[in-house]
Chain A
């Protein structure tokens, strides 16, 4: 989509879902990027906002992801959670962002709303260390259970802290 087409998009306030969020939770920050409606909700209201959006037809949670904004220019918060919602009946999509910060980045789990959030939130917990309160089974998803770090955080070294070589050595004598 070209830039000129973006300027012709309706103003963010005209989106009925954003308007509903504004009505329920006060003014929320919203924008449109390449035709996609994005909205930022405060962390403490994220569960209520997402349940409101679910009642408004967003029945499909496409993805839960996270971005670490450590040393990112202009960033006010450390972590940005991304919820990609879709409405299968209304054929609409909405990106909901929630910002959380150290030392205890915490946000409410949306597993009660969308069952599919279970493993998505486990992955975010595993790789970014975001704690999801109310999650039924918040264990690591991709890294080994005994792993202690959250490796997709920007302050974690790419080559790790030696975890990858912390294994017993099997020699010919052992085997």
Chain B
């Protein structure tokens, strides 16, 4: 928390008075009382539980109050793969959470689809909801999730404003939207793989 020196303002302040910006105070309160919404769909959820349990003790960072109602949460932790039948549920829960709110995409599956590159699994939740922190790992260890929460706390402290101005980042979200489904994945490797080149050329002639 940035503390203005009393000398720089020319004011005489008693020694038990601290001067700060209201934005910083709001961010300081928010970052140290994150209430997670556990959206645990797979094995990452087990690590999420371990993070909240006694050994790793998420209470040290003020984020131990797991709530199962989105109305009471401000940090969504998506732990596990999200299938296309679950995605509308995820979006609805995200929309039911009150501002200010943040999202952690925990593990390879939530961030990219992981090994589940199939018709049913969404290839990264950041295509459809805003994500603030990504945690690599399959599943990540509790320490990694704790690190993500610490990093998110830093982010909240640095970017946070009382009015939530920092969320109006059009460019950042527009970049995500550019991630569209690319059916011709073969073409990426075709230049150095003659087999794929043949397949690609034959598929092109078939479509013609």
Asked if A162 and B181 sit within 8 Å, CB to CB, the answer is yes
Selected interface stretch from A56-64, A66-74, A151-159: A151-159
Question: Known contacts being A160-B119, A169-B127, is A143 close to B85, with CB within 8 Å?
Answer: yes
Listed by A's residue number, 28 A-B pairs whose Cβ atoms lie within 8 Å are A143-B120, A149-B119, A158-B117, A158-B119, A159-B117, A159-B119, A161-B119, A163-B84, A164-B84, A164-B119, A164-B122, A165-B127, A167-B84, A167-B91, A167-B122, A168-B128, A169-B177, A170-B95, A170-B129, A171-B173, A171-B177, A172-B130, A172-B169, A172-B173, A173-B168, A173-B173, A175-B101, A175-B130
Q: Is B149 an interface residue (CB 8 A)?
A: no
For chain A, residues 119 to 175, give those with C-beta under 8 angstroms from any C-beta of chain B: 142-144, 149, 151, 156-165, 167-175
State the A residues within 8 Å of B (CB): 142-144, 149, 151, 156-165, 167-175
Q: Is B146 an interface residue (CB 8 A)?
A: no
Q: Which residues of chain A have C-beta atoms less than 8 A from B153's C-beta? A: none
| Complex: A165 Cα to B84 Cα, angstroms | 8
Q: How many A-B residue pairs have CB under 8 A?
A: 80
How many whole Å from A169's CB to the nearest CB in chain B?
Answer: 5
Q: Is B3 an interface residue (CB 8 A)?
A: no
State the B residues within 8 Å of A (CB): 84-85, 87-88, 91, 94-95, 97, 99, 101, 117-123, 127-130, 167-170, 173, 176-177, 180-181, 183, 185
> Nearest 5 CB-CB pairs, A to B?
A160-B119, A171-B173, A165-B181, A172-B167, A162-B181
Asked if A164 and B173 sit within 8 Å, CB to CB, the answer is no
Question: Known contacts being A143-B85, A169-B127, A175-B95, is A158 close to B183, with CB within 8 Å?
Answer: no
Asked if A169 and B121 sit within 8 Å, CB to CB, the answer is no
| Complex: A157 Cα to B182 Cα, angstroms | 13
The contact of B128 among A158, A161, A169, by CB within 8 Å, is A169
How many whole Å from A71's CB to the nearest CB in chain B?
Answer: 16
